[in-house]
Structure 1
């Protein structure tokens, strides 16, 4: 009897371990959140409910459009117009780069990474590198506009920056980014696409139109045109009316992962040690630049910008630092967590390979951007 209980307990532990190992980022987020609670007591205000609700809304709409075969139709249309996989990847990567300037990096990834995964399934082509480069593209492209990502919006409003100084500061980074992406896209394998797929006909255009309108409402809430709470109620009601099953099909672990990271980031950034270190290390524009990159790797670029803004008036190196700092570790920009979760949801056995490839690409981009941008700042006498 005792042996049976022990075996069952071991089996449960084995299942738990396999589950945690399967979703490494989720596991890390739980460990970090729990460990940080010993440093600082967590507070409800650390959790960004606006981000969580918008993320939930977008996942619902994307899943609903996927169920209606809208993504399949877009994928087939794209595949039938392209002759090789390299041209498909180029379009998908550049879509993330340019759309992230308007709809934010996380929305761009939530929109186009699922399309990439659908194309991968239809062609049996590996698209891991494409998804990684989409993530890099979204993080770089979003740096060009104040509304492209949360840290830009915060710095833009906090320091009262006007459009021309802002764009002149980040323009070279965007040019450098699209040039680098072109180089890596050119290196991708260009497998010939021999398949000609029959165009899909959407059976229920009325539902597709309704979901399209809901997506418009959600994007309006992201821009602050309407309250995100109203967008949530509308999205939830439409889901219950048109397809209640879609509520069971979205990745709730992604939301839990974000909550854990919010707790970890909040606890760490509000700890006395981090506050003291930030206060003493920001002595000149050069230290602001490197500190913002360093803190972004540890606590993500949005809280890094909020934390460091309290200790400096040098907004240019801070702006560039937190945007460049979005490259590197997977938590440097939480938008990177979104594409990772979407990818492993479709390819659960490739989580480790994805993280390795993600790290190689992101740290390569990070090292290149840190060095080149530093040289430019020195030449312009900004640091």
Structure 2
């Protein structure tokens, strides 16, 4: 993988349409033919809490973008940071830290749009930057019980204290971050950042920014209190009444893709052959549990993998480490990967993601395996 200092900025739309959406739809049709079930069951397969939370965050993020704040913030950042590698270190470190505090998907909603605006103002390798940010949030979010959904699930099952869970995950997270920053050292050159010719500055809309900020705070509080429906209704209602054009710019196809992922992957996990295979494997503890979690995550994503394997694996540290490392590799390994690529709106993002993420998975899996031996 050669490190190129410059790359094209993202176009307004993702090239190639929505191939993943059509693939997932075809898989769902295949399951419906091979294993028919009542229509209501398909709706029950979808995690509507996740879909609702992402819908609200998508709308609020679009409001922040339309406010012009990101353009102004990107200009100030580029004025102070003149070297590409320094900028990438700053963005990935921010992504890792934020993901441990406010979850991996929220940190992506904050940073990927900013990164896309940076690439619109300077010659930056946008696809590579976003892939590295996706790796960073997968690594950073693994540290805390609230960093990602699989940690929250396993923490509740473990009986560990908040600090105890962090101590359990710290060695694996340290390894992942070490390899991440080493990868940046080789993938990103110490090249000066070349600015593009200045275009018309986007007009700042402070009222829209303030509105989006207030809605973001309120929506996060609503999610924490389990008031999803009320919170989402307020977000959609306010934008529909006051800023309807914001809703037109939202990537609604992303929600359809994630909903179909739940439908397809949960049906895959329910197959008797899968349950039989897992029952035959000796994966209760140690390195076998760790490797089983990594492999399973590549096919059904790490959150479903944690839920599925929890009944077979009795070594919780191995399972938690495995599903965390399993977020690398295939784009389906973690929902955060898909969110990052969709927010970036960059052509050939999947190809660039797998060129970096698959070798990264192999290196992280092998080194973290030593902790399980």
Establish whether TM, by shorter chain, passes 0.5. yes
- Higher RCO structure, 1 or 2 (CA under 8 Å, sep 6+): 2
In structure 2, C-alpha distance between the alignment counterparts of 1:61 and 1:376, rounded to whole Å: 41
2:366 paired residue number = 371
Q: Distance in 2 between matches of 1:210 and 1:374?
A: 47
The corresponding residue for 1:10 is: none
Unaligned runs of 5+ in 1: 1-18, 379-383
CA distance in 1, matches of 2:28, 2:337: 18
Report the equivalent of 2:280. Answer: 280
Which whole-Å CA distance do the structure 2 matches of 1:160 and 1:304 have between them?
A: 20
Q: Does 1:266 align with 2:266?
A: yes
Establish whether residue 324 from structure 1 lines up as the match of residue 325 from structure 2: yes
The 1:203/1:127 distance shift into structure 2, 3 A limit, reads: closer
Aligned position for 1:302: 303
Aligned twin of 2:18: 23
In structure 2, the partner of 1:7 is: none
Which of the pair is proportionally richer in helix? 1
User: Is it true that 1:135 corresponds to 2:134 in the alignment?
Assistant: yes
C-alpha displacement of 1:203: 4.2
Counterparts of 1:154 and 1:279, CA distance in 2: 22
Q: Distance in 2 between matches of 1:134 and 1:20?
A: 21
Cα distance, 1:159–1:118 mapped onto 2, change above 3 Å: same
Q: Does 1:210 align with 2:211?
A: yes
Q: Which sections of structure 2, spanning at least 5 residues, go unmatched?
A: 1-13
Contact 2:123 2:195 in 1 (8 A): no
Tell me which of 356, 367, 375 is aligned to 2:351: 356
CA deviation map 1:313-357 (0-9, x unaligned): 2211111111111111111101111111122x3x3xx22xx2222
Separation in structure 1 between the aligned mates of residue 52 and residue 172 of structure 2, nearest angstrom:
31
1:171-208 per-position Cα deviation (integer Å, ceiling 9, x unaligned) = 01221122222212222023323549799797442332
Residues 72, 21 of structure 1: CA spacing in aligned structure 2 closer, same or farther, 3 A cutoff?
Answer: closer
Give the match for residue 8 of structure 1.
none
Against the structure 1 CA distance between its residues 39 and 292, is the aligned structure 2 distance closer, same or farther, given a 3 Å change threshold? farther
2:71 maps to 72
Q: Within 1, Cα distance between the matches of 2:328 and 2:266?
A: 20
The correspondence of residues 14-163 of structure 1 with structure 2, limited to 5 A, is: 21-37=16-32, 38-39=34-35, 41=37, 42-163=41-162
State the 1:218 CA deviation: 2.2
Tell me which residue corresponds to 2:3.
none
8 Å contact from structure 1 (residues 29, 257) kept in 2: yes
Partner of 1:16: none
Q: Contact 1:21–1:27 (CA<8 Å) still a contact in 2? A: no
How far the C-alpha of 1:219 sits from its partner, in A, is 2.3
Instruction: Work out whether residues 39 and 271 of structure 1, in 8 Å CA contact, stay in contact via their aligned partners in 2.
Output: no
Judge which range, 187-196 or 286-295, deviates more: 187-196
SS of the counterpart of 2:331? coil
- Distance in structure 2 (CA, Å) of the matches to 1:32 and 1:66: 34
Stretches (4+) displaced over 6 A = 196-202
Structure 1's 45 and 69: CA in aligned 2 closer, same or farther, altered over 3 A? same
Contact conserved, 1:77 with 1:199, CA < 8 A, in 2? no
Aligned residues: 353
Equivalents in 2 of 1:195, 1:329: separation in Å?
33
TM-superposed CA distance for 1:245, in Å, is 1.1
The worse-fitting range, judged by mean Cα deviation, of 329-338 and 181-190 is: 181-190
Offset, 1:283: 4.2
Q: Scaled by the length of structure 1, what TM-score is found? A: 0.86
Quote the Cα distance in structure 2 between the aligned partners of 1:135 and 1:101.
13
1:182 equivalent in alignment to 2:177: no
Instruction: Give the Cα–Cα distance (whole angstroms) in 2 for the partners of residues 20 and 68 of structure 1.
Output: 25
Q: Which structure has the bigger radius of gyration? A: 1
Q: Distance in 1 between matches of 2:318 and 2:272?
A: 24
Report the Cα distance in structure 1 between the residues aligned to 2:184 and 2:158, rounded to whole angstroms. 36
Distance 1:214 1:333, change over 3 A: same
Q: Are the equivalent residues in 2 in contact too, given 1:70–1:202 (CA < 8 A)? A: no
Task: Check 1:275–1:243 CA distance in 2 against 1; reply closer, same or farther (3 A cut).
Answer: same
The superposition leaves residues 31-74 of structure 1 with CA deviations (integer Å, 9 ceiling, x where unpaired) of 33223332463532210111111111111111111111011111
Which residue number in structure 1 is paired with residue 334 of structure 2? 333
TM-score, normalised to structure 2, is 0.88
Over aligned residue pairs, what C-alpha RMSD do you find?
2.3
